[in-house]
Amino acid sequence: MYPYIRQVKSMIRASRMPKMGLLETHVSHHICWPWDIDPWMELNNGRTLTLYDLGRIELSIRTGLSETLRKNRWGIVVAGNTTRYRRRVTTFKAFEMRTHCIGWDHRFVYMEQGMFRNGEYSSHLLTRAAITSKAGIVPPAQVLAALGHEGESPELPDWVKGWIAADATRPWPPEI
């Protein structure tokens, strides 16, 4: 089940924090609760993605993106992601999450997130998101203008460009 109580708590917490720039890093702190674990007694991979959702929601509130989306009746959707898991997070363990926007292209906004335990990565996520309207995808340039952000995207790292290129070769629809 989606953690709605956690989501509301995150949204309230983020709304009380100082505003931040689009390219700054948002830091949040979380605990792995018993309902977050899998049969191997560690943070479930699906719940990991849900907790990363909360980090992006908090970032969108602090940067003013959520308000811009609301005003323009736009939505935001994850259009792809890749996750790397490296260290376990077990029940009742606290962890830190870092979330930031690393850039955009003509269709998508790219965000990077990491979960840390004792200063070491436990997992890392690259997400591309699309801003949507009833007419379809809203170009990031239009979204950024509405947000009041000036300037070009920072150059995306080579590993992100490689992921974008590799994903473009993937057949759609899948041939399963």
- Give, for all 176 residues of the chain, the pLDDT tens digit: 788 999 999 999 999 999 999 999 999 999 999 999 999 999 999 999 999 999 999 999 999 999 999 999 999 999 999 999 999 999 999 999 999 999 999 999 999 999 999 999 999 999 999 999 999 999 999 999 999 998 899 999 999 999 999 999 999 999 88
Q: What is the pLDDT of residue 142?
A: 97
Geometric angle at alpha carbon 8, from 7 and 12, rounded to 5°: 120
Q: Where do the domains of the chain lie?
A: 4-168
What is the model's pTM? 0.93
- Pairwise CA distance, residues 155 & 175, whole Å: 33
How far separated are the first and last CA of the chain, in Å rounded? Answer: 28
53 to 41, 46, 50, 60: CA distances (angstroms): 22, 11, 5, 11
pLDDT of residue 1: 74
Classified by CATH at the fold level, domain 4-168 comes out as Thiol Ester Dehydrase; Chain A (3.10.129)
Cβ distance 81 to 132 under 8 Å?
Answer: no
The pLDDT value recorded for residue 151 is: 87
Cα 7 from Cα 131, distance rounded (Å): 20
